[in-house]
Amino acid sequence: MKLHPVLVLDRTYAPVSIFSHKKAFILDLLNKCEVLQYYESVKLSSPTMDYPAPLVIRIPVLMRHWQSSAPTRRAVFIRDNFTCAFCGKIVKDSEVTVDHIVPKSRGGKWEWTNLVTCCSECNQKKGSKTPEEAGMVLLYKPKKPSGFQIALNRWRNKLNREFLEVLATYGVNIKKEAI
Ligand SMILES: [Zn+2]
């Protein structure tokens, strides 16, 4: 079954996450959210009836400044859209690596601001040097992403026109959110 993205707002109407329509539907059944808007273009079917899929829901908690937790390899790749921080190449799943900007051997930590997505060639070239020592330049400065940015990047290729339009009405332009 195809999953449709649902924009999740917190108590203050700030966009905080993206759920699948299935998850939103269950939250609605359990009275854990308020559905603010339904898809016009997406109808879900049960044996007895068709009903619209939720497009925007609001959850009664405060998450405006919700930060993503400690980085995982996967979350670093998602934050960086699988783009090598040194050569800008989109890296395939099988060849993607995480680089410690300040090498581990020099006390560089496993934290958002010290980790970037790296292709295997750049990673080999850099070895256990700093970018300066290796004569390499970072194309972007890695930051700790918000939970919403991670959700956005995770769903990036599955966002449909109706969703993007509604996202814009909540002040989120997908190009500006790109890292
Ligand atoms: Zn590279």
- Per-residue pLDDT tens digits for 110-168: 999 999 999 999 999 999 999 999 999 999 999 999 889 899 999 988 899 999 999 99
pTM of the predicted protein model: 0.79
- Give the dihedral sign, CA 167/7/52/35: negative
Query: Mind listing the pLDDT tens digit for each residue in 17-34?
Result: 999 999 999 999 999 999
Q: Where are the domains of the chain?
A: 5-66+146-177, 73-134
* Structure tokens, 11: 């108590």
* 126 Cα: distance to centroid of ligand 1 (angstroms): 10
* 82 Cα: distance to centroid of ligand 1 (angstroms): 11
Instruction: Name the residues around ion ligand 1, CB cutoff 5 A.
Output: 84, 86-87, 119, 122
Find tokens 């051997």 and name the residue: 105
* 118 Cα: distance to centroid of ligand 1 (angstroms): 5
- Is domain 73-134 classified as CATH 2.60.40.10? no
Least confident of 10-19, 41-50, 145-154: 41-50
